[in-house]
Chain A
Amino acid sequence: MNRFMFCCLWSIAAFASSAQPFPEQLKLKLSDGTSLVLCRQMSISRSTPVYFYLPVNLRVSEENGNKEFLFMPYKNNDTGAIQGAILHLLIQWGLTGAQLEEAEQFLATYVDTAATIGGSVFLEPDPAHPDVEIVFRQNPLGEILLRSMKNVPKTALNAGSKMAFSFGLDAEDARVFNDAMKDAIHFKNIRFKVYFKLNTRLYGGDLSDNFFIESDFSKWLQQ
């Protein structure tokens, strides 16, 4: 068995019975557990199957190998109490280089040796949720994030584009947050959600035209 954790080829019926030589959509699970949906679009090349992937893998972005994440509590002096804190982070979605390579290898193995991935699907912002949202249930740390947030980034529609946040925490919130940072579990179920609208006519198949991706803040702290 190869290293792909092949989940399903749910449009396999269309693959087999229709006149189309390649499936419109594929679902697979990468070796790191990431679930991926690939949608075929013929227009980019009539001769080779080109697939685009649905948004996936919402994460803290990296630059030069460093996570773009800053948590900086500050004091008036070395022995004094925390007077406030700055939290700054950039997030992005999309396949990493390794994931993209793995997915393309899957296509070459199971679909067509010429099959390739053309990037993420073409998306539009969801008019009902044009901004990144932070959702949680009864978690004071989530409340702190909301009230200290200085900007609300718009949804990035292309894979790899980054969304930047800055939070300015007052003294009390900074002390609570700083204590909680000692264990990421305190931030469990505080989720960052990004909503999209998909032109389903472009890709066809059984796709919802409104969907979202999300990730848990605690997961980012553990990375």
Chain B
Amino acid sequence: MLFWAAICVASAQQIMVDQGGEFSGLWCFPVYGDSATYLYLPSRARLGLSGDSLPEFSFLRYVTEKPGNAPSGTITEAGGGGIVTFLILYDTPEAQIREAEKELREKTGNRKAILRGPVIFIRGRYLLVSSILMPDGNTKKEVLGAGEAPVLENSRLAFSFEVDPVRSKLLLESFKMKTPDISLIFQLGFSGLTDSYEAKLDIDWSEMRHSQSFGAGGSAYFISADIELGFDELIRNNTIRLTTVGTNESMESLLNMVYSKLLDLMFKPVEPEKVPEAKKGGLLDALGAIAGGALSSRKLAKVGFNVAFQMKHLQMSGQSTLYFHGRSTVERNHFISFNIGDLYRKYGQNERIFRDVALYDPAFQQREVYVGVDGSLEKEFNRMVNNVTVRLRKKHADGAITMKEVLINRSVFTDSTGRFRMVYLNRGDTDMIKWLDYDYQTVWKFVGGGTFISEWTHSNAAMINLYAPFQRRIIALEGDFALLSQQDIRAVSVRIEYPFFSEIKKDDRTIRAGDNLNEKSFEVTLPLGREEVDYSITWLRRDGTKVSVGGKDQIGLLFIDELPKN
């Protein structure tokens, strides 16, 4: 006679998974060895609460400036998005625990029954369910977030997601509904002991040898699925008789144990590759089918699918009896799902929960000031102007001064697209209107060496329009030389003088009888704001004497036939 006892060692924390019940919505299981002490499965998930009882949740929508694609448009779409952050935990309300404990005592008739605490999970997973938070590009049937969850209740799990502007708006609208598009599922695994089983297994070895399944004896090889079918047959035809003692509530666990023991008794595992070719038959194909899922062995699953077995050369005869008693450890899953709920109704006006901000941080801004060069100035680069320097001076609120300058000459102007710019940063300039203020100055270098440095000019415009600091004037000569000839005038000399920035320019004309006065006019370049030129006219007589007169001209016309009276 054989004797076999399978006694699982049960820890004091193990629960009896087959003896639980639901009391006031709380699943409770007795602890092994202490039928009055129960553990419960946490019943709810929720947002964590901060010290001031506000939910640990925030939805921040932000707006940023974005370069517009249509330069002519004055209203364009800003950039931005949203960041949603929340902490989630699972727990059990104290009131529910007390209520469940009360009901537990009533229903079990055990007035000493207590709920000691939550079941300690052996593993946990979380799944976040949301279409809006689903990142772009994810394939369908894929959850946004999934990962390991804490196994102790009241442990917080933190989430944070960034969404684009459209999803940000969608999420906000979703939060305004009673069931927003954010749910979370906790899948929590726990283990416990099954009910005890007691059974007697009688084996008739002579019948075994003649069985259809295992009659071939030690020459045959099997796979686990075939062995299980064989055991089923042996039990059906009473070659193996299983007799349970007491209740048979844990038959499933018991059968697992019985089949495993029979397997140990009658078979030994072999590596399929070492099975003789002549004996292999369809063994490898069958193993392949198992691996592909076509066949399965439920009760012998623990031995692994890809294992072949060879029947032992049993020396047994007559009858044997095996005794089984014990418990099995099984694993179960507990799900806790919750929707994040109508937070907006409660906290929509609380800026610690929902907030819209413009990300307008001056510290990260810079001012660009462009220099516009007028087309007429381009011509002066050939004639009058060597180069122009534009200086920008920004006095910042923190006392710092930014100096920038840009040099424009003919080649730079030609090579550029006409856009010259200077940039200054924000240095403590909290008053954004004043931040726009600056001064500028232009330094002109003229052909021939002249220089003009403008005064500092105050501005806040984004463009400094650069124009020539001078103007051109024509000073024409008029008169009837015939009259002068009658007065014995042989020639007339006309000189003009005018300041041109740092120098004095002079120009002379000599007019004789027969000259075309239209060809004798002066073209002068005057600084802006100056209208008059100094002139002198000298008449030369045939006897060599001279008469001169001087003056200032503002109208651009000098008469050469008006000799002074004296």
Interface of A toward B, CB cutoff 8 Å: 41-45, 47-48, 50, 52, 63, 66-70, 72, 74, 86-90, 114, 116, 118-120, 122, 124-125, 147-154, 156-168, 199, 201-202, 204
Contacts and interface: CB of A to CB of B under 8 A. Distances in A.
B140 to A, nearest CB: 6
A120 to B, nearest CB: 7
Interface string B338-352: 110110000000000
B247 A42 contact: yes
Contacts, number: 168
A192 to B, nearest CB: 15
B306 interface: no
Nearest to B185: A164
B251 A44 contact: no
Contact of B109 (A48, A52, A150): A48
B143 A150 contact: yes
B174 A90 contact: no
A119 B184 CA distance: 24
A160 B27 CA distance: 10
A66 B178 contact: yes
B143 A48 contact: no
B131 interface: yes
Given A150-B142, A153-B129, A63 B339 contact: yes
Contact of B18 (A43, A47, A88, A89): A43
A72 B173 contact: yes
B484 to A, nearest CB: 85
B18 A72 contact: no
Chain B, interface residues (CB within 8 Å), range? 35 or more
A74 B170 contact: yes
Contact of B141 (A87, A125, A152, A161): A152
Instruction: List the 4 closest A-B pairs by CB distance, nearest first.
Output: A119-B22, A168-B131, A118-B21, A201-B251
A166 B138 CA distance: 14
A70 B143 contact: no
B266 interface: no
Contacts of B132: 86, 168
Contact of A44 (B21, B185, B187, B333): B21
Nearest to B337: A162
Nearest to B107: A116
B20 interface: yes
21 contacts: A63-B341, A66-B342, A68-B178, A68-B339, A74-B170, A86-B181, A87-B131, A90-B179, A122-B17, A122-B332, A148-B131, A150-B143, A151-B142, A153-B129, A158-B41, A159-B22, A160-B22, A162-B185, A163-B335, A201-B248, A204-B248
Interface in B1-60: 16-23, 25, 27, 41
A24 B134 CA distance: 48
B513 interface: no
B22 A153 contact: no
Contacts of A153: 127, 129, 185, 337
A114 B106 CA distance: 9
